[in-house]
Structure 1
Amino acid sequence: MSLRKKIADSEAVLNWFARRIATYIRMVHRNTKWQRIGYEELDRLAEQGEPVIVVLWHQRLAQSPYFFPLDKGRICSITSSARAGSMVGRVQKLFGMDTIAMSSHKRHVALSREVLGKMKEGISIGIAADGPRGPERVCSTVPLIWARTSGKRVFGITFSTRYGREAGTWDRLLLPRPWKNEGVFLCREWTETVPRKASEEQIEALRQSLEQHMNDITAEADRMVGREPWTPKA
C-alpha cells in the first residue's frame, strides 16, 4: 500500500478532517442570521417520538446537521461507504446523528431492513435523494420505497444563504460564507401517498412529484435570501 493511500485511510487523519469540517459548519451556523420556516409539524412529531423520512438534495449537505431538531428526536442519515460519503458520516456523527453506510455490496433488501428497524425504534431517516453520485437533482425511488413500506410521512428540507459559492463537484455543493451571512432553513411535507401496490408508472409519477417538490422548496429558499435559483447544467 502506498504512503498516500495509508494517509488517506488513516483513522487519525480522517477524524482530523472531520473535526475541521465540523468546525466550519458550526462557524457558518453561528455567524449566520437564520430563519427557520415550516418546522412546526416536524418538531411536533419529533417530540412525540414519531419517525419521519427526511429528504434533501446532495447540493445542500453543508448544513445538514442542523436540518433536523436533534434536541427533540433522533435521526439516522444514509451515507455512502466510499471515502467522501464516509467523511459525511463522520461529520454528522460529531453532531449526534446516527448513520448507516450504503455500499454497492449491501443488497437493497438488507439496507431497507436496517432502515425500517431504525424507524421501528422511533428514529427518523435522512437521505440525499440524488446521492451519492447523482445525477444532480434526479430523485431516486429509494425514499418512495421506504415511505410505502413504513407508512411514515416524508418531509423535504433545504437551506440557502445569501453569500456562498458552489463547489466544482458533480452536485455543485453550496458552501456558505462563514461570517456575516443570512440564511434560511425551509421544511415542507411532501403530501403524496405511495400505494402499497403501486405500479411502475405510479412510482415514476411519484418520483417526479417528489423531485419537483424538492426543486420547488430549494428555489423558494434561494429566492428568500436573494440567491439565483438552480438551473440544470447546459
Structure 2
Amino acid sequence: MSMAGRIASNRGVNKVVASIFGLWLRFAWLTSRRDADGWDDVARLIDRHGAVIIVCWHQRIMLTPWMFDLKHAPCLSLTSTGHAGRLVGWIHRHFGMGTVPMPKKSSGAGQMRQVLTLLRGGTSIGISPDGPRGPARVAKPTPIQWARASQAPIVVFTYAGSRVWPWQTWDRLHFPLPFGRLALIWRHWDRAIPSRLTPEDAQALAADLGRFMDEVTATADARVGRTTGGDCENAKGPP
C-alpha cells in the first residue's frame, strides 16, 4: 500500500479528519437559515412499522448526520469500506450515529440477513442507492429488496444549499458552506412492492425510486433558489 493509502487508512487520521469535517458542518448548520419539511411523517412511519429505510443520493450525503432524530429511535448508516466510506462513517459517529461497514467481498445473502435483523429489531437503515461509485443518480435495487423482505417503508431524504462547494468527484458532491439557506426534505416513497419480486420488477421499481428521489431533490433545490434540479452548474464556490 502506498504512503497516501496508509495515511488514509489510519484510524487516528480518519478520526481527526472526521472531527474537522464535523466542526465545519456544525458551523455551516448553525450559521444557515434552515427549512425542514417531512420529518414528522417519518416519525409516524417509524412508530407504525418499527423502522424505515432512508435513501439519499450520494451527492447529498454531507447533511445525512441530520437525516434522523436519534432521540426518536435508533438508526445506522451503511458505508463502504473504501477510504471515502470509512471517512463518512467516522463523520456519522462524530454526530452519534452508528454505521455498518459493508466489505466489498461480503455476500449479498449475508448483507441481507444483517440488514433484516436490524430492521426487524427496530433499527432504521440509511443508504445511498447510487453509491459508493455510481453511476450518479442511478438507484440500485438493493433498498427495494430490503423493503420487500422486511416490510419497512422507504423514505427519501435530501438537502439543498444556496451556498455549496461542488467537489470534483464522480457524484459532484455538494459540500455546504455557511451563511446561506438549507432545505431538508423527507418524503415517503409509497409504492406497493410485490412479495414475489423478479429481477425485472426490482429494476423497474428502482428506476421509479430514482425518479422520485430526483423530484424530491428538485423540490429542495427550488426552495433555496437553485434552478438546475440538482446539477452543480449554478452552485457557488468557496467564499
Q: Normalised by the size of structure 1, how large is the TM-score?
A: 0.93
Shift, 1:51, TM fit: 0.4
Alpha-carbon distance in structure 2 between the residues aligned to 1:231 and 1:9: 31
Alpha-carbon offset, residue 46 of structure 1: 4.0
What is the aligned partner in structure 1 of residue 72 from structure 2?
A: 72
SS at match of 1:101: strand
- Offset from partner CA, 1:75-102 (integer Å, 9 cap, x none): 1111000111011011101111121111
Is the contact between residue 49 and residue 73 of structure 1 (CA under 8 Å) also seen in structure 2?
Answer: no
Is 2:114 aligned against 1:122? no
Q: What displacement does 1:231 show?
A: 4.7
Aligned AA (1:149)? A
Matched, 1:23 2:23: yes
SS of the residue aligned with 2:110? helix
Partner SS for 1:69: coil
Please report how far the alpha carbon of residue 5 of structure 1 lies from its aligned counterpart in structure 2 after TM superposition: 3.9
In the other structure, the counterpart of 1:10 is: 10
Q: How does 1:49-198 map to 2 (within 5 A)?
A: 50-178=50-178, 180-198=179-197
Q: Distance in 2 between matches of 1:8 and 1:129?
A: 24
Deviation readout 1:45-73 (Å, 9 max, x if unpaired): 44578200001000001100001112211
Secondary structure of the 2:112 match is helix
* Alignment RMSD (CA, Å): 1.8
Which secondary structure state, in structure 2, belongs to the residue aligned with residue 198 of structure 1? coil
Residues 101-139 of structure 1: CA deviation (Å, up to 9, x unaligned): 112211111111111111122100000010000000000
Quote the residue 2:206 is aligned against: 207
Question: Structure 2: which 5+ runs fail to align?
Answer: 234-239
Q: 1:232 to 1:185 in 2, by over 3 A?
A: closer
SS of structure 1 residue aligned to 2:105: coil
Taking the aligned partners of 2:48 and 2:218, their CA distance within structure 1 comes to 31
AA aligned to 1:159 is: Y
Q: Distance in 2 between matches of 1:27 and 1:57?
A: 23
SS in 2 for 1:77: strand
Structure 1 alignment gaps of length 5 or more = none
Percent identity, please.
Answer: 33
| C-alpha contact (below 8 Å) 1:47/1:73 kept by paired residues | no
SS across alignment from 2:69: coil
Shift of 1:31: 1.1
Counterpart residue identity of residue 211, structure 1: G
CA distance in 1, matches of 2:94, 2:26: 11
**Secondary structure in structure 2 of the residue aligned to 1:115:** helix
Q: Is the 8 A contact 1:46 1:69 kept in 2?
A: no
Following superposition, the deviation at residue 199 of structure 1 comes to: 2.4
Distance in 1, Cα, partners of 2:224 & 2:2: 46
1:209–1:48 Cα change, 3 Å: closer
1:34 aligns with 2:20: no
Q: 1:46 to 1:26 in 2, by over 3 A?
A: farther
Q: Give distance in 2, aligned partners of 1:157 and 1:117.
A: 23
Query: Is the alpha carbon distance of 1:221 and 1:47 closer, same or farther for their aligned partners in structure 2, counting shifts above 3 Å?
Result: same
- SS of 1:17's equivalent in the other structure is helix
Pairs aligned (count): 232
Do the aligned partners of residues 204 and 6 (structure 1) sit closer, same or farther apart at CA in structure 2, a change above 3 Å counting? closer
1:208-231 Cα offsets, whole Å, 9 max, x none, are: 110000000001100111013235
Q: How far apart in 2 are the matches of 1:221 and 1:33?
A: 14
